[in-house]
Amino acid sequence: MDSLKNHFIIAMPSLNDTFFERSLLYICDHDEKGAMGIMINRPSGIIVDELLLQMELNEQPQPVTSLGKDVLIGGPVNPEQGFVLHTHQNGWDHSEALSDNLMLTTSQDLLGSLGSDKAPTKFLIALGYAGWGRGQLEQEIIDNAWLSVPATTEILFDLEHAQRWQYAAESLGFDIWQLSNLAGHG
């Protein structure tokens, strides 16, 4: 199987009553050792402004502009660790280019810039991530748990959280609710 880096994986309806029910994940890394992704459609109940105040990263009582964005639940692994997916912008500590126009940053220097003119144009913050060991994600795809589609910045940054799963599924050209839960192996 080719690498799914810079793809979305879309939870199949059969994953109901699981942590990943109706989830959409952005795959940050995928190779022979395993895979790492960030869930991009489940709000945590915390807004970015509150997170920044809790972390005391802004010198002012309120950010320059109210960010009003939700912090997302990125996955079940290391839920205390924050990840920022953002449009490409050099100069941040602990940043990795994921594609020509997307980066992943785990440093607090970027968080301190949010709400200012130094911040990336578009971003999302997630706590935790999803991880798969060698061959695990591939097996889950074979077992009909996930569909994949190339990632788009429109889905990542421009849609409401509640629309992302459905929109990504529709980009494949069919209604995900019409799919069978049975894998088509012959």
Check pLDDT > 70 for residue 182.
no
- The contacts of residue 49 (CB under 8 Å, 6+ apart) are 62, 63, 66, 67, 68, 115
Q: Specify the pLDDT at position 115.
A: 77
Q: Specify the pLDDT at position 174.
A: 81
pLDDT tier at 1, thresholds 50, 70, 90: low
183 vs 185: CA distance, rounded Å: 6
Bridge-based pairing of strands 70-73 and 123-132 is parallel
What is the C-alpha end-to-end distance of the chain, expressed in Å?
19
Check pLDDT > 70 for residue 57.
no
Q: Look at residues 157, 137, 17, 22 and name the one whose alpha carbon lies nearest to residue 86.
A: 157
- The contacts of residue 177 (CB under 8 Å, 6+ apart) are 13
Q: Specify the pLDDT at position 117.
A: 82
Check pLDDT > 70 for residue 135.
yes
70 vs 46: CA distance, rounded Å: 6
pLDDT tier at 185, thresholds 50, 70, 90: very low
13 vs 180: CA distance, rounded Å: 9
Q: For the whole prediction, is pTM greater than 0.85?
A: yes
- The contacts of residue 18 (CB under 8 Å, 6+ apart) are none
